[in-house]
Structure 1
Amino acid sequence: MSETPTPTTRHRSLWRDLSLSTATAGLVAVLIGYSSSAVIIFQAAEAAGATPAQIGSWLWALGIGMGVTSLGLSLRYRMPVLTAWSTPGAALLATSLPGVPMEEAIGAFLFSAALITLCGVTGLFGTLVKRIPPTLAAALLAGVLLRFGMDLFVALERQWLLPLAMLVAYTLSRRLVPRHAIAVVLLVGIAIAAGQGHFSLDSVRLVPTVPMFTAPEFALSTLIGVGIPLFVVTMTTQNLPGITVLRAAGYQAPSSPLIGWTGAATLALAPFGGYALNLAAISAAVCMGREAHEDPARRYTAGVAAGVGYLVMGVFGATVTALFAAFPAELIMALAGLALLGTIGNGLAGAMEDAGQRDAALVTFLFTASGISLLGIGSAFWGLVAGMAMLWVGGAARRQTGSR
């Protein structure tokens, strides 16, 4: 059924349409988003040399951005439009930002946001994304995330019980309660860490966050090595699936305005640490099914509820920062690795799917995963360039052979 907004649906009463099930779905989406990947934001900010106050500002900016856009877009289009931070983008930053000054990192965020906004405003989103083969985009994603998956097992060497118990909990919960698997893993990790005396909430205080403005600086090597890969990863692995999920649920989502608004919100919040906002896919799916509401026309209120939840989490970003700072390093490593296992697997499967592009995808994956820097530009950019070059050379060779 088509969910295109009509004058009737667009002016529906929010209070009449809101229900316990939609409000619950929205709050569950918020919890899934934070419990599955907030730890990766923490790692990305630390890689940029952020202080605890700056990390709190990052979470403030992202929470406020997701809250305003989820709430506003859901009300505007009367469909459950959820936004999220770019988890693959955060993983990219965690591997690309060490040694990069915070001011240059903010400049790269603004550059990426400007490209996303331009794609949305001009309608270039669909055309531009189609230029990047899905196999190479998947390989780039898998290469960026590989280190996080490996860290799960590196943590075993430091403190074997905690990551092993979390891995067992993940395996069981994926079969029994798959939607809440990461939340279960987090609870198990906290329980074991507390039992070992490695986790305490004494330093955690419920206080509002004070956002911190960082003036951007623009360095060409950082714009190319961080800004462009962040743009590519956000568009291909986040915004594209986000639009696909909406349309698969029957909602005729106007892709260009949605992309444009997420880019514009990132532009406004990047100086405070809001590195990338995009359309949500996994957490959004929670708000689009019958569990949210039997009537698809009323499910937009789940997006509104999620927006309110994100706003609350953003206001108390400093508290979230203090909470994650209280976790032992092994818990953070294991949680991040387990949260990204499915994404890494999907990336590898997508990269190897087309036999004709497999070599190029493999080069992109290995180059990106290597973490090397050439000419001051990170491996994610060069991995994509190398893969595209291999595809072009291979295509040219086939055309030349065919013309003989």
Structure 2
Amino acid sequence: MLRDISAQNLFMGILAAFVGSASSFAVVLQGLSAVGATPDQAASGLMALSIAMGLCSILLSLRTRMPISIAWSTPGAALLATSGAIEGGFPVAVGAFIICAILIIICGIWKPLGRAVAAIPAPLANAMLAGVLLGLCLAPIKAVAFDPLLGLPIVIAWLVVGRINRLFAVPAALLAFIIVMVIGVEFPDNAFSSLSASIIPPVEFVIPQFTFAGLVGIGLPLFIVTMASQNIPGTAVLRANNYDTPPGPLFAVTGVFSLLAAPFGGHAVNLAAIIAALCAGEDAHPDPKKRYWAAAFGGVFYILFGLLAGLVTAFVSLAPSILIEAVAGLALIGAFSGSVVAAFKDETAREAAAVTFLVTAAGLSFFGISGAFWGLLAGMAVYFLSRWPNRK
């Protein structure tokens, strides 16, 4: 096994971990904060997710000898960012994370639930995701309006670098964010001492609370977007690169690691799609049988990033919130455009998809349940009514 290690898969593992972390950690922090996490709890959640997906990547890759990459649920974090604070605060959100993890485990070991998830019309699942992402994707525009001197460099960096290499567009925006922070934001007098104190890895155990609103408003939508937007595409990427493995056990293992991360504030980990393509492609190694080390090395660097989560969160907290939202929004534009195209491609489901998208994007909550659930429910009603036999 050790003979399969090469400088090529080491480099690709570092690149995968860097892109995976830098391109979406802002979305995770924004999502955890939106559902009531304190800065310390958000840092703990970021650390728990990073360590969970690192250990899961190492375990699955070395066990199967396939490049199985794990990521946090970026669409799930975007869902949290638009859900807003729930009654009962962050402990209720953590209870919903645990429910989501249990559902993922069941989905992996009990085929009827997996088939039920697969039976959700793809246009509606994509429309719900598009509605969730819309608000965050508007943040870069709002950031420019808030302060052009701070917002424009972030957007310009994303545009220019994205034309050269799309893979580095969001990391470039993140670098621009750091530069404008250093140059254009006035730090408090105690900023550097607080940053120094944040080097210690944060650990915040949250006692979960379980409520119906948490189950329906966060748990179920988080489960659906994680499965439909991450786990299922992740298996497709593996198959496209000729790695054929039963998806059920992979889902179950990601569910177990999600369950372990949840009490510390982590919302969900899952099979990666974009990062998986990096580790499973020819750039990771000419021999497909030796590419698994790229995913394993990526896991090692995810863990190292997680240990710095407190420092990252403390630095981000010094910025105007709209700037970090702008970075998060730029990271999600690709996912938003892809979900919109997939949602409205099928003419027979277009009206139902539009209803799902609009209700979700409106962000209205009823009975403490977020708009994502109501959007999917409304879209399903329109979808099945449109197929009801019209007998005269």
- TM-score normalised by length of structure 2: 0.95
Please name the residue that 1:4 is paired with: none
Question: How is 1:50-129 mapped onto 2 (pairs within 5 angstroms)?
Answer: 50-100=37-87, 101-124=89-112, 126-129=114-117
- Tell me the distance in 1 between the aligned counterparts of 2:185 and 2:30: 23
- Which of 207, 211, 220 lines up with 1:215 in the alignment? 207
User: Quick check: 1:231 aligned with 2:223?
Assistant: yes
Deviates more, 1:215-224 or 1:98-107: 98-107
Deviation digits for residues 282-333 of structure 1 (CA, Å, limit 9, x no counterpart): 1121111111111111100001101111111222321221232233333212
Please name the residue that 2:7 is paired with: 20
- Aligned letter for 2:200? P
Question: How is 1:148-159 mapped onto 2 (pairs within 5 angstroms)?
Answer: 148-159=136-147
Q: Is the 8 A contact 2:57 2:68 kept in 1?
A: yes
Q: Is the 8 A contact 2:124 2:353 kept in 1?
A: yes
Q: Is the 8 A contact 1:151 1:333 kept in 2?
A: yes
User: Quick check: 1:174 aligned with 2:174?
Assistant: no
- Tell me the distance in 1 between the aligned counterparts of 2:323 and 2:103: 36
Cα drift, residue 108 of structure 1? 0.6
- Which of 271, 275, 278 lines up with 1:279 in the alignment? 271
Please name the residue that 1:358 is paired with: 350
Equivalent position SS for 1:278: strand
Equivalent position SS for 1:84: strand
Cα drift, residue 140 of structure 1? 0.5
Equivalent position SS for 2:387: helix
- Which of 263, 269, 276 lines up with 2:255 in the alignment? 263
- Aligned letter for 1:334? A
| Structure 1 stretches lacking a partner, 5+ long | 1-12
Q: Is the 8 A contact 1:112 1:227 kept in 2?
A: yes
Q: Percent identity?
A: 43
How many corresponding residue pairs? Answer: 387
- Aligned letter for 2:279? C
Please name the residue that 1:196 is paired with: 184
Please name the residue that 1:9 is paired with: none
- Tell me the distance in 2 between the aligned counterparts of 1:215 and 1:351: 38
Q: Is the 8 A contact 1:156 1:163 kept in 2?
A: yes
Equivalent position SS for 1:243: helix
Cα drift, residue 33 of structure 1? 1.3
Please name the residue that 1:248 is paired with: 240
- Aligned letter for 1:162? L
- TM-score normalised by length of structure 1: 0.92
Deviates more, 1:255-264 or 1:213-222: 213-222
Deviates more, 1:348-357 or 1:128-137: 128-137
Equivalent position SS for 1:204: helix
| Structure 2 stretches lacking a partner, 5+ long | none
Please name the residue that 1:49 is paired with: 36
Deviation digits for residues 316-362 of structure 1 (CA, Å, limit 9, x no counterpart): 32122123223333321221111111111111111110011000000
- Tell me the distance in 2 between the aligned counterparts of 1:50 and 1:129: 29
User: Quick check: 1:309 aligned with 2:296?
Assistant: no
Cα drift, residue 186 of structure 1? 1.4
Cα drift, residue 126 of structure 1? 4.4
- Which of 368, 384, 390 lines up with 1:392 in the alignment? 384
RMSD over equivalenced CA pairs, Å: 1.6
- Tell me the distance in 2 between the aligned counterparts of 1:331 and 1:341: 16
Q: Is the 8 A contact 2:86 2:93 kept in 1?
A: no
- Tell me the distance in 2 between the aligned counterparts of 1:175 and 1:141: 26
- Aligned letter for 2:140? L
Deviation digits for residues 73-128 of structure 1 (CA, Å, limit 9, x no counterpart): 00011011111110110111112141431111111111111111101011346412
Please name the residue that 2:281 is paired with: 289
- Tell me the distance in 2 between the aligned counterparts of 1:330 and 1:228: 28
Deviates more, 1:188-197 or 1:334-343: 188-197
Q: Is the 8 A contact 2:27 2:325 kept in 1?
A: no
- Tell me the distance in 2 between the aligned counterparts of 1:70 and 1:162: 37
Q: Is the 8 A contact 1:144 1:368 kept in 2?
A: yes
Q: Is the 8 A contact 2:213 2:368 kept in 1?
A: yes
Deviation digits for residues 228-268 of structure 1 (CA, Å, limit 9, x no counterpart): 10010100001011111111111002200000001111112
- Tell me the distance in 2 between the aligned counterparts of 1:346 and 1:327: 30
